């Protein structure tokens, strides 16, 4: 064999090797995805086989004076009663704050998992603890409605003498 045919044969084998290597790489990615699907299916199967859980809300986190590794919380269960319960050791106790939704084991009433909020996080962030903190400046795009509201509700309350001076009765708002 001459040199050119050997080089061509080598390049052909190199290309076949690169193609096979790409195929192996694609199969590894596919295997990784299948492993993730398998793990998720196993998780769902174990969740189906587990005992049902109660949904509750943390009312007050408690620290145990004798042993700081055991933390108990006062929980209001979805069924109504309130319980003093233990917290699962693997759970991040710093995330248990007042108002957190949790799942409780039905038999031991132990907090097993911290659940996401019931409401959409964007809606939750729009809620205000004190509605009196919101003013007309916090509302955008409703200038005409704000003007009508101020003329019919706010003005008669803050300046009733204006209506007396003009000689008309202030509008009555029924709530």
d(CA 53, CA 101): 12
Pair 77, 26 in one domain: no
Residue 21 vs residue 71, higher pLDDT: 21
Boundary (domain end) residue, out of 115, 139, 162: 115
pLDDT of residue 66: 47
Pair 38, 59 in one domain: no
Residue 75 has a CB neighbour count (10 Å cut-off) of: 23
Dihedral angle computed from the Cα positions of residues 128, 130, 133 and 139, in that order, rounded to the nearest 10 degrees: 30
Residue 175: inside a domain, yes or no? no
pLDDT of residue 89: 81
Residue 147: inside a domain, yes or no? no
Ranges 25-39, 53-67, 124-138, 150-164, most confident: 25-39
Quick one: pLDDT band at residue 131, thresholds 50, 70, 90?
A: low
3-state secondary structure of 94: helix
d(CA 131, CA 139): 13
Dihedral angle computed from the Cα positions of residues 156, 160, 162 and 163, in that order, rounded to the nearest 10 degrees: 70
How much of the chain exceeds pLDDT 70, in percent?
A: 78
Residue 20: inside a domain, yes or no? yes
Q: What are phi and psi of 34, to 5 degrees?
A: -65, -35
Single pTM value for the model:
0.38
Q: Give the β-pairing of 71-77 and 101-105.
A: unpaired
Residue 82: inside a domain, yes or no? yes
Domain span at residue 102 reads: 53-115
Residue 166: inside a domain, yes or no? no
Count each helix (H run) and each strand (E run) in the chain, helices first.
5, 5
> Measuring CA to CA, which residue among 97, 110, 115 is closest to residue 60?
97
20-68 tens-digit pLDDT: 999 999 999 999 999 999 999 998 888 777 667 788 888 877 765 444 4
pLDDT of residue 123: 63
Pair 21, 41 in one domain: yes
Number of domains comprising the chain: 2
Cα–chain-centroid distance for residue 11? 56
3-state secondary structure of 62: strand
Quick one: pLDDT band at residue 175, thresholds 50, 70, 90?
A: very low
Pair 13, 39 in one domain: yes
Pair 25, 40 in one domain: yes
d(CA 44, CA 47): 5
């Amino acid at each position: 064999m001459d040199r050119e045919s050997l080089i061509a044969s080598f390049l052909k084998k190199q290309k076949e090797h690169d193609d096979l290597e790409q195929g192996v790489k694609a199969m590894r990615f596919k295997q990784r995805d299948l492993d993730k699907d398998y793990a998720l299916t196993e998780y769902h199967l174990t969740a189906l086989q587990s005992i049902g859980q109660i949904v509750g809300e943390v009312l007050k986190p408690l620290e145990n004076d004798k042993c700081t590794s055991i933390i108990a919380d006062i929980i209001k269960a979805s069924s109504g009663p309130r319980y003093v319960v233990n917290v699962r050791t693997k759970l991040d106790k710093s995330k248990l704050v007042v108002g957190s939704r949790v799942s409780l084991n039905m038999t031991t009433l132990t907090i097993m998992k911290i659940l996401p909020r019931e409401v959409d996080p964007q809606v939750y962030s729009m809620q205000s603890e004190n509605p009196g903190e919101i003013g007309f400046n916090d509302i955008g795009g409703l200038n005409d409605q704000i003007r009508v509201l101020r003329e019919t509700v706010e003005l008669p309350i803050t300046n009733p003498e204006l209506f007396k001076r003009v000689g008309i009765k202030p509008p009555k708002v029924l709530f």
